[in-house]
Structure 1
Amino acid sequence: MNQKQRERMESGKGFIAALDQSGGSTPKALLQYGVKETEYSNEEEMYTLVHEMRTRIIKSPAFSSDYILGAILFENTMDRKIDGKFTGEYLWEEKGIVPFLKIDKGLAEEKNGVQLMKPMPELDRLLDRANEKGIFGTKMRSVIKEANKEAIKEVVTQQFEVAKQILAKGLMPIIEPEVDIYSEDKQKSEEILRDELTKHLSTLDENVKVMLKLSLPSEDNYYRELVSHPHVLRVVALSGGYEREEANEKLARNHGVIASFSRALAESLIADQTDQDFNKLLTSSVETIYKASLT
């Protein structure tokens, strides 16, 4: 694990940009960017267009290490290049931004009010490739929709089992058990989740740390014990469907938590904008998310 990157992630000021839409969410990300499905005819063309979008964001002067600590990439983006360098290497060497990789293969069908991660039989090989391409850490997502104690326990157990596999490869795992913001018993789910996360963190070896990516909680500062936990490098928040302004307001009230926004980051960015307009809008987005992450 790169020690400079670890120190930056642990104590640096800023937030993590989530540029990891994949599979089924890629057409939605492109549509938000103003690229219709009629503009590409196969998966390869789709991924080329989304890489062009991400390249434009990453190369923008607004996408600066003054505000952004890290960026989460999709596997296809990791394998592509920007100016002759693999995306992860470009992020760190040219921009000073720590690269992460989304490793999950999507969500299983909902069962007992949760969605576990689909099996990842090729994970070891993917982690080896991540190491080869300069990636610092990984991210994996599950979803909690109902306050079912046993099901939430299963979600957290799966996340930590995979996290230990990631740690064994010398990478930093971001554990992401997302609580659906539209859940009717969201606050109860958060209570169960916090307890389960605390239990599993206590099983880690003495000097081991992980990162947590969590939905913005119903009660401000509800995750403060996790923020200060000796086995937690950083707690980051997902926007989870909130518009950027609302997500920023909620984030600012949760001290010690930084953003890891995706849709809220790219809000208002359109393919046919001039570079001047594009960079101006991205600058505004980056600066407001940064400010909300400082509290």
Structure 2
Amino acid sequence: MQIMTPKARSDVHVNLPALQKLDSMLIEVLDSMVDTEYWYVESGSRSGGRGKNNGERQTKKWWLPSPCVPEQGLSQFQRKRIVFQAKLVHQILKAAKSINEQVLLQIPIPMAVMDALPKSGRSSLGEDLYHAITTDYIPIEEIFVSLSLKTEHSVLETMNRLEGALFAWNQRISEERSRRSPARHSWKFMKDSSSELEKMSACIERVETLIQLLKSRFPNLPPTFIDVVKVQYNEDVGHAIVEAYSRVLVGVAFSILSRVAEIMLEDDLVKKPNTPMSSLKFDLSSDVYLAGITETPPGHIRRSLMDQISMVDGRFDAVVKKRGAKQLMW
């Protein structure tokens, strides 16, 4: 005789305790921020601290209190302590974000939304980005630095286009593999189909790499269209709990890092009053603000995407004419 006992789902059983541990670590970090050398005042009232040129520092988040530091700046001990706390929070953020991305991958796209998504990678990406992705001559890093990413809206739009192409290509590969049958098709047809699927798989890898570059460069982007509809139409309670919990932890961790960056910026403005504020940037890997940071990876020349495509298309067309290869239609 067997007695049925309740058993937790494996994904929830693993992820939920991990998120609870990350939650407690965040609380411990916040509780450790006592006896500090910095303090906060309401925006518009900076009489108690020193800032750049003893004046108010303009900030986009005017509703948040402004950090203040002593006239001589933070001590070396205090600065190292803040950096240690920031690095710990950064690791928590990466762990929570990884869990969130994993659970979003497990949530299926609603059938009602699939019909609204692009049916091909070309229509989703647009001609310029499509040619850059499907051509091996252009490194992903150069495509990344050539994208127009001036605003959060443009970055999110690019992410939506890339994810739409991923969905279309993955659907195409699944359909081709499910209906492929050696008994129904000739060997030549099977060979051409396999070659096309291999090219499509290579493009999927390039798009996934580009998405990871965008996520690392813009860590606090709003959710993409596909992620939003997944959460909105999700009917799995376990997925909903893990996704919401991890998303909240990511937001809290990012807010803490933002406040730490403001403190470090204020400290540098006091210690280096003649340094332009636009040239200061906090880097967790070196715990200092770095001047003159460029987004262009070393060894790559920043060129416009159209220049790259024009250069590549000339060589690609020559290869096509020479070998009689077919143009990609997906």
Fold shared per TM-score above 0.5: no
Per residue, is there more strand in 1 or in 2? 1
Kindly name which structure, 1 or 2, has the bigger radius of gyration based on alpha carbons.
2
Per residue, is there more helix in 1 or in 2? 2
Higher relative contact order, structure no. (Cα contacts within 8 Å, ≥ 6 residues apart) = 2
TM-score by length of 2: 0.24
TM-score by length of 1: 0.26
